[in-house]
Structure 1
Amino acid sequence: MSKSKLQHYLTHIIKPYAYRIELFRLSNPFIDLSLLLLPIMKNLTQLTTLILNNIESNYIEQIVNHLSSLPVLSSLIIISINTIKNHKNIYYKIFRLPILKYCQLLIELLQCPKSLPVATNEFSTIEHLIINHEISIDQLPILLSYVPQLRRLSIGNLKKPKINRTERDSISLNYLTNISLKLHNVNFDDFEILVTNYFRQIQVLTIAIQYIGFYDNSTQYLNADRWEQ
């Protein structure tokens, strides 16, 4: 779509009816979101679902900064086609959305900031969380501390710990029953600690295991005695 056609579409079709839009989906990486989406976000007062698929990462921070202007947003999907350079406070801003229930993210190089503390008095309403970019197993509990209402969790690239954390965070996930994890070079000892500390109440657990190189501990996933413990 040419820039002139896009501007005509925005001016005569989207803008006049922005207040009536309940679902907004973009999946064209060549669309200029600074023209199509950002100028009208404050007018999307009935928007409940926002799906941004295959978007340029340089738009992500601007979009996240405007999400608070969507008063009834309950479902959010952001899938980036490239790595993000500036990712300060993205998780925190998403977790602060007041009625968000479903959140799916694939933003390469989006890390849990070192400055992000375990949540103590600010919590998210998210019930279904999907993170398909890389996250280390020691960072996961920090993010989970913000989502006490979580019922379903899927992690598409869970990595081995970057630091050794011996303390157990005070996190209650009383509603979490369904978990899907893709483990990359995570030994069974670290996986066992994660499950024992945070996932005792789950009903369905699905795991996929990938190792690059040889790890003596990898065969422990096949050890029935370890699972019975």
Structure 2
Amino acid sequence: MSKSKLQHYLTHIIKPYAYRIELFRLSNPFIDLSLLLLPIMKNLTQLTTLILNNIESNYIEQIVNHLSSLPVLSSLIIISINTIKNHKNIYYKIFRLPILKYCQLLIELLQCPKSLPVATNEFSTIEHLIINHEISIDQLPILLSYVPQLRRLSIGNLKKPKINRTERDSISLNYLTNISLKLHNVNFDDFEILVTNYFRQIQVLTIAIQYIGFYDNSTQYLNADRWEQLISIHMLNLRVFDFQLSYRGLDSNDERQAFETLINKFNSTFWIEHQWFFDHHYHQIT
């Protein structure tokens, strides 16, 4: 769309009827949001859903600063095409939106700021949270402390802790029943702490892990006995257990035999009674 057509569209369609718009979606990295969206945000009084896909990250802080002017916003999606430089208090400002229920974020280099404390008296109404950019496992509890109403959580790139995790703080997430995690270099000890403190009510757990090479640390999630103990004690409501583990470079016969020995331990009575069945296959990477 040319700049002149965009200006005509903005002047004659969007601005006059901004007060009637309930869903606003932008999916063009070349649109100047300072002309299209920011000037009318205070007039979007009926807007319930805001979707910003493939936008320049330099607009994000401005947009977040104006979100409080949207009184009925309940669904927010922000996906940037590049890394963010200034991310001060973005999480905190989103968590303060009064009726937000659904939030999906993909903002590269967006970190949980060190200045953000664990929530004590200000909480978010978010029930479904999706974070697809990188976040470390020691930052996650801080964010979870703000969302006690959370029911569904998806983390697309959960990384190893940036500091040694010794704390075992417990936060009540009594409604959190559905969790999906993609783990990167997170050891099983840290994962156990996460489950013990925050995931006691879960009913559906989806985990995806990928390793390059078959070595001691890469087999820790293949300990069937450890999984059985963790589930039996801390995940008593678990109904669906979708566990995807892949290796790149599992080539030698010894490695495959060791892998299959570990996998076969998931065929005990515990797993059969839960009707959780495991399978594996090898494929050539070209």
State if a TM-score over 0.5 links the two structures. Answer: yes
**Structure 1 residue 85 displacement after superposition:** 0.3
Deviates more, 1:191-200 or 1:177-186: 191-200
Within 5 Å, which residues of 2 pair with 1:182-197?
A: 182-197=182-197
Distance 1:213 1:163, change over 3 A: farther
**Structure 1 residue 213 displacement after superposition:** 6.1
Distance 1:225 1:155, change over 3 A: same
Count of aligned positions: 227
**Structure 1 residue 3 displacement after superposition:** 1.4
Rounded to whole Å, the distance in 1 between the matches of 2:153 and 2:97 is 18
8 Å CA contact retained: 2:177, 2:203: yes
8 Å CA contact retained: 2:51, 2:76: yes
* Larger relative contact order, structure 1 or 2 (CA cutoff 8 Å, min sep 6): 1
Structure 2: which 5+ residue stretches go unaligned? Answer: 228-286
Q: Deviations over 1:165-223 (max 9, x none)?
A: 21222411000000000001111111111111111110110000023566522212111
Partner of 2:58: 58
Rounded to whole Å, the distance in 2 between the matches of 1:184 and 1:76 is 26
8 Å CA contact retained: 1:110, 1:133: yes
Rounded to whole Å, the distance in 2 between the matches of 1:79 and 1:162 is 24
What is the DSSP-based 3-state SS (H/G/I as helix, E as strand, rest coil) of the residue aligned with 1:5? helix
Rounded to whole Å, the distance in 1 between the matches of 2:147 and 2:208 is 24
Rounded to whole Å, the distance in 2 between the matches of 1:144 and 1:65 is 22
Structure 1: which 5+ residue stretches go unaligned? Answer: none
8 Å CA contact retained: 1:188, 1:217: no
Deviates more, 1:195-204 or 1:66-75: 195-204
Structure 1's consecutive aligned runs of 4 or more residues displaced over 6 angstroms after TM superposition are none
8 Å CA contact retained: 2:168, 2:193: no
8 Å CA contact retained: 2:134, 2:158: yes
**Structure 1 residue 33 displacement after superposition:** 0.4
Q: Point out the structure with max Rg over C-alpha.
A: 2
Percentage identity across paired residues of the two chains: 100
Rounded to whole Å, the distance in 1 between the matches of 2:169 and 2:27 is 38
**Structure 1 residue 5 displacement after superposition:** 1.3
8 Å CA contact retained: 1:183, 1:208: yes
**Structure 1 residue 2 displacement after superposition:** 1.6
8 Å CA contact retained: 1:27, 1:52: yes
Rounded to whole Å, the distance in 2 between the matches of 1:135 and 1:70 is 28
* TM-score of the superposed pair, with normalisation by structure 2: 0.78
